[in-house]
Structure 1
């Protein structure tokens, strides 16, 4: 498989047009049936250095490569990860959960000294789930936070690829740690996504607090009986 190497072309165009900071944003765990959804952010400015060697969309990298890149990315630029729990996904839905996690990630950046004044968020995907979720404490008096939605931004934009890496590493670490408490779900290997072993364990011992209960109910007729992953859980 040929790995597409992201560049700073989009970020430099936005910075050249007058933005002060470009914040790449990407989510991981959207299609899992257990664990939180995580959103990573990576902020770059005009003085950003060269893209770290080997950086790519986290889905195109091995776990070992992601873990090696994580500290490199964190030295390259300011990053943060926000999460929304399985309970939030169940109670509010996946889109509000994504927004909550994204807002938390932005809040962490601000706490780290990154200003949103003159910033633009490059959000991977085709739908803006962030804007409505940004709390008043992060909103600018003069104008709302600018969000640019870009399909496959995690493949093309270095800031978004960096965000995907830190989010994936952080979420994987959480699910691996949870495996020690409940090894029968095989979270160390499936990271909360649907798999035969995962659904086998749910059928044998029931659901865990980390499971998205509403998603299991929707999947039960297919996934728990036939061990087939639903399209809704893919990605």
Structure 2
């Protein structure tokens, strides 16, 4: 796949309209059958520099290129990653899990000194799964956190693309480490998505604590949902 170069057009428009901070947000691992769902954030302000060379939606980059970009992205923007476990996905559903992971990522930014006053979140997609999950401790002084949803924001908006890269690398690293303790599922290659080798491992040795048990009956749907990320990881 050819990477589409994201820009700061949306971010600069929001900053020009009076926003103090624009926080790009994207999720990774939504369609996996094992492991957490991860949400990345990348906060930029009016003094932001040029978009890092080679930055793109994480699904359009090789694993090696994503890893190379992480330190560059972290110097360029203030980033964080939040996660919600497979257990949370099973017990509460994927949408509440996404919200919890997104709120956790925002909390890390706040703990690192970022104020959410005057901030706006640009959320990839067409549905706001974040707002209801934001705890009162994170609500800006002027009222509810402003969230803007944008389809294909991970492709078009540099802050969202940056968020997708840091989230993807952090979650992939976690799944590769988990592979050492549970090699039957081939997590080092499939990162928890529903590959043939992954399902073969489940049939051979049963499930693991990292599995989203409520999702396993959706084998064909989940496998297709993760196809793009599997093809990008190689």
TM over 0.5: yes
Matches within 5 A, 1:18-57: 18-57=18-57
Give 1:49 shift: 0.9
The 3-state SS of whatever aligns with 1:43 is strand
Matches within 5 A, 1:83-232: 83-216=83-216, 218-219=217-218, 223=219, 229-230=220-221
Q: Is the 8 A contact 1:39 1:83 kept in 2?
A: yes
Q: Distance in 1 between matches of 2:223 and 2:179?
A: 24
Q: Is the 8 A contact 2:195 2:223 kept in 1?
A: no
Q: Distance in 1 between matches of 2:63 and 2:223?
A: 24
Structure 2 stretches lacking a partner, 5+ long: 227-234
Structure 1 stretches lacking a partner, 5+ long: 224-228
Q: TM-score, normalised by structure 2?
A: 0.95
Q: 1:94 to 1:18 in 2, by over 3 A?
A: same
Give 1:21 shift: 0.1
Deviations 1:13-41 (A, max 9, x none): 00000000000000000000000000000
Give 1:2 shift: 2.6
The 3-state SS of whatever aligns with 1:174 is helix
Q: Is the 8 A contact 1:82 1:102 kept in 2?
A: yes
Give 1:233 shift: 5.8
Q: Distance in 2 between matches of 1:2 and 1:196?
A: 26
Give 1:142 shift: 2.8
Q: Distance in 1 between matches of 2:77 and 2:195?
A: 35
Q: Is the 8 A contact 1:25 1:160 kept in 2?
A: yes
Give 1:232 shift: 7.6
Residue 50 (structure 2) pairs with residue 60 (structure 1): no
Q: Which moved more, 1:133-142 or 1:182-191?
A: 133-142
Q: Is the 8 A contact 1:40 1:80 kept in 2?
A: yes
The alignment covers a number of residue pairs equal to: 226
Give 1:3 shift: 1.6
Q: Is the 8 A contact 1:25 1:163 kept in 2?
A: yes
Give 1:140 shift: 2.2
